[in-house]
Amino acid sequence: MNTYAKIALNIGTHGLFTYRIPPALEGKVLPGCYVGVPFGPRNRMAAGFCVEVDRGPGDIPPERIKAVAKLLYPEPLFSPEMLSLCRWISRYYLCPLGEVMAGMIPPGIRRRTASRAEPRYVLVHRGAGALKRAPAQRKVLEYLENVPGREASRRDILRAAGCTPGVLRVLEEKGLVRRVFSVSLPEAPSVLEGREVEELTPEQEKAYRTIRKHLDQETFAVLLLKGITGSGKTELYIRAIGDVLSRGKTAVLLVPEIVLTPQMHARFSARFERVAVMHSRLSAGERAALWKEIKRGRFDLVIGPRSALFSPLPRLGLIILDEEHEHTYKQETAPRYHARDVAVVMASRLRIPVILGSATPSMESLRNAEAGKYVLLTLSTRAGGGSLPLVHVVDMTEERRGKHRPGGISLPLARRIEETLRRGEQAIVFINQRGFSRFACCPFCGKSIRCPRCDITLTYHKEEFFLCHYCGLRKPLLRRCPVCGHAPLAFKGAGTQKIEEELRARFPAAVVQRMDSDAMTTKRAYRRVLTAFAEKRIHILVGTQIVAKGLDFPNVTTVGIVEIENMLHLPDFRAPERTFNMICQVAGRAGRGSKGGHVFLDVYDTEHYAIQCAAAHDIDRFYRVESSLRKELHYPPFGSLVRVLLEGKSRERVNAYGRELAARLKKTRFARRVIVLGPAEPPLGFINGRHRRHILLKVPDKMPYGGLFPDHRVFESPAGVKVTVDVDPLSML
């Protein structure tokens, strides 16, 4: 009696392939297994995942069926629960199952040519002095004694000690060093350590009791932890994780961007021993080695970005998502999943609790809390006893009318910075734009400098180039207008470089540092700036998003937020939400110490509800106003969106297919309930030499749409047009 395996291959098709299980592999090829199968006319070896084991071959003609060639991993890589999760992701995000599953396995496991992890060695015993007659070995031990964590990679050791691998082997045999697979712990700078919250505030205590109750029940629950900046959410994470670990279970902590949260690593590594931190710098081999060690049960806690959700921790007991509103949780390539939503489904499959934390939760999560689907936990006071900063909304129209000729920053902000410096305190100025100015244009003929491939303006980077922030195209600097020859050009819309320059000019005695992705190309540069800022060697920090998150410097008493309306007035229904969140996050950097804080918000539309609510730190009011607007237009969280993006070199083809597809979608059996908008030209209608159109589907609230389009062929793309389906899109540019 033969058995057959349905195999999901990562070849861009939703179909599964049926293979016979040969006697030698009988009982070993199980759902969730990673296998090699002969594929195609030349029978080349393809890797795939067994998702089902059947008694018969189904409707495939038996003569076409080939046999599974081998097991690529001795045990299933997916538990039944995780396989079920993969199916859900595949259905919900309209992504082939094989692609979903392949995406959850680190490249080093996936590839046959698993490049081995770089070996690392840790010091077991001190006492290099004893090795008088083995200078090479002594050198190695001396090096390891002085290195953070007493652990280093083989390459580093050999370079530092100037010895050969044989020396290390001898030391390993003597038991003086041990070979480890773990990845180095993040270098934790003491200056960046957050305050230790020893005792919980009454509010924290209350939230913690609720968390404990759900951990005790060991069932599925979503806990939305809404806590203002500085309210001690992290301390609650630590306690919850501690509880889970003490029950012999494991936990995963997702962070929006690992490079931006060094203090998070430091805090967790200080409290727990068996912590695996996924950093972005891991090579494929290191990632694979770490993955195997996690699967083997060597770690209790994994901290990492969204992909860490799929790390194979045995006995997972808790999932935590910090800063759950962050858009980085949405993957922008297939499968286009949102880690928050997947975490919730995963927790329900595994019957465990999940904690979503944020000072400014997403509209989606707030609505789920309101509807009673999530348990809301609120922290409304700062753990250290400090208070939220006072926010001053500066009316820039007033500024413009006054005698003071406005530059990048308002007069009240400038005055406040002056006072801050006089008191020996520090300031942060936030501007959501890199470069010197957003665009350059000719004051004579009015033409702007644009990207020929994307048809958007090029950002001016001073003394460097014009840069397209979408395709990365660089154009050399121009003195004159390329159209009419007029000089000089006018530069509009300030960026970090311009604000930096202005601050230097205004405050010549102060040390001003810019912090954006252009200035902080390496992690080291970033750390160096943070250390200098902590040591008060930098007085004013100017930066983009980078300065918005997690920085905890008690001496920062002033925060300036300029040009925020660039964000507020983007053609995107989430623009007010993003702006509100951003202001709250940035404002939260001020007044973390005992000295109190002031935030200056330079805006023209002072009455806008996003500005007003942010200034008042009133998220509940923001939620109410925003909800009524979204409800009216059936935008999320009151209904869902599916975005179908069409791209191609020929504008005519893209347009024609867009019209055809929209017409077809209007005729599906869902047409009466789904609103089909478009095809329309998105805000970025031409990028990288490709014309773009999109169709937006508004799916009504409560309509179950797992499998809304069971016939995924609706979205098949014809010649010359690429079709991308984005379920729950976060960006519609």
Partner DNA sequence: AGCACGCCGACT
Partner DNA sequence: GTCGGCGTGCTC
What Å distances lie between residue 361 and 116, 193, 460, 624, CA to CA? 41, 25, 34, 13
Minimum CB distance to DNA smaller for 57 or for 407: 57
**Collapsed DSSP state (helix, strand, coil) of residue 403:** coil
Give me the least distance between CB of 720 and DNA, in Å please: 6
Positions in 662-721 near DNA (CB under 7 A): 719-720
**Which C-beta is closer to DNA: that of 42 or that of 422?**
42
Residue indicated by tokens 């189904």: 58
Positions in 61-120 near DNA (CB under 7 A): 64-66
CA atoms of 404 and 267, how far apart (whole Å): 46
CB distance 603 to 391 below 8 Å: no
Tell me how far apart the alpha carbons of residues 472 and 494 are, in angstroms, rounded to a whole number.
19
Span of 14-22, 122-130, 538-546, 701-709 interacting with DNA by CB under 7 A? 14-22
Our finding on whether 11 is near DNA (CB under 7 A) is yes
Position 607, amino acid: E
Choices 39-47, 117-125, 438-446, 474-482 (CB under 7 A): range interacting with DNA: 39-47
The structure tokens listed for 113 are: 């040519």
Q: How far is the CB of 111 from DNA (least distance, A)?
A: 10
- Write the CA distances from 610 to 44, 362, 493, 657, integer angstroms: 57, 14, 21, 38
The Cα–Cα gap between 370 and 354 comes to 17
DSSP 64-86: GPPBP-EESSSS-SS-HHHHHHH
Residue closer to DNA (CB basis): 12 or 297? 12
Part of the chain binding DNA (CB under 7 A), chosen from 4-12, 257-265, 375-383, 401-409: 4-12
Closer Cβ to DNA, 47 or 355, answer by number: 47
d(CA 299, CA 313): 8
What one-character DSSP code corresponds to residue 605?
Answer: -
State in angstroms the smallest separation of the CB of 690 from DNA.
14
Query: In angstroms, what CA-CA distances link 485 with 84, 444, 459, 481?
Result: 63, 9, 20, 5
Question: 48, 156, 42: which is closest to 102 by C-alpha?
Answer: 48
Binds DNA by CB under 7 A, chosen from 17, 337, 460, 553: 17
For the bound state, the minimum distance from the C-beta of residue 55 to DNA, rounded and expressed in Å, comes to 15
Where does this chain touch DNA (CB under 7 A) — which range of 12-20, 252-260, 621-629, 696-704?
12-20
CB neighbourhood size of 319 (10 A)? 26
Task: Output the smallest distance, CB 447 to DNA, in A.
Answer: 33
Question: What own/partner pairs with CB < 8 Å and gap ≥ 24 does 17-25 have?
Answer: 17/48, 18/54, 18/57, 18/58, 18/60, 18/65, 19/65, 19/66, 19/67, 19/68, 20/57, 20/65, 20/66, 20/67, 20/68, 21/53, 21/67, 21/68, 22/67, 22/68, 25/68, 25/70, 25/71
- Provide the 8-state DSSP code for 547: G
For residues 18 and 365, which CB has a smaller minimum distance to DNA in the complex?
A: 18
Report the nearest approach of DNA to the CB of residue 716 (Å).
9
Site for DNA in 43-62 (CB under 7 A): 44, 60
The residue among 19 and 623 lying less far from DNA, judged by its C-beta, is: 19
With contacts defined by CB under 7 A, name the span among 32-40, 279-287, 306-314, 657-665 that binds DNA. Answer: 32-40
Q: Which C-beta is closer to DNA: that of 19 or that of 268?
A: 19
Minimum CB separation of residue 13 from DNA in Å reads 5
CB of 637 to DNA, least distance (A): 33
Rounded to the nearest whole angstrom, what is the least distance from the CB of residue 97 to DNA in the complex? 14
In the complex, the smallest distance separating the C-beta of residue 10 from DNA, rounded to whole angstroms, is 7
Residue span binding DNA (CB under 7 A) among the ranges 13-21, 355-363, 434-442, 551-559: 13-21
Interacting span for DNA (CB under 7 A) from 10-18, 74-82, 488-496, 517-525: 10-18
Distance in Å, CB of 4 to DNA, minimum:
9
Provide the token pair at 39.
């594929």
What is the rounded CA–CA span in Å between residue 245 and residue 252?
11
Angle at which helix 135-145 crosses helix 165-174, to 10 degrees, equals 80
For DNA, which is the closer residue by CB, 37 or 441? 37
Q: Which of 1, 27, 40, 74: binder of DNA (CB under 7 A)?
A: 40
Q: Are strands 598-603 and 556-562 parallel, antiparallel or unpaired?
A: parallel
Q: Taking the CB of residue 452, how many other CB atoms lie within 10 A of it?
A: 12
Residues binding DNA: what is the number (CB under 7 A)?
21
Is the Cα dihedral 201, 202, 208, 212 positive or negative?
Answer: positive
Taking the complex as a whole, the smallest distance from the CB of residue 664 to DNA amounts, in Å, to 17
Stretch that binds DNA, among 36-44, 226-234, 312-320, 355-363 (CB under 7 A): 36-44
- Which chain residues interact with DNA by CB under 7 A? 10-13, 15-19, 38-42, 44, 60, 64-66, 719-720
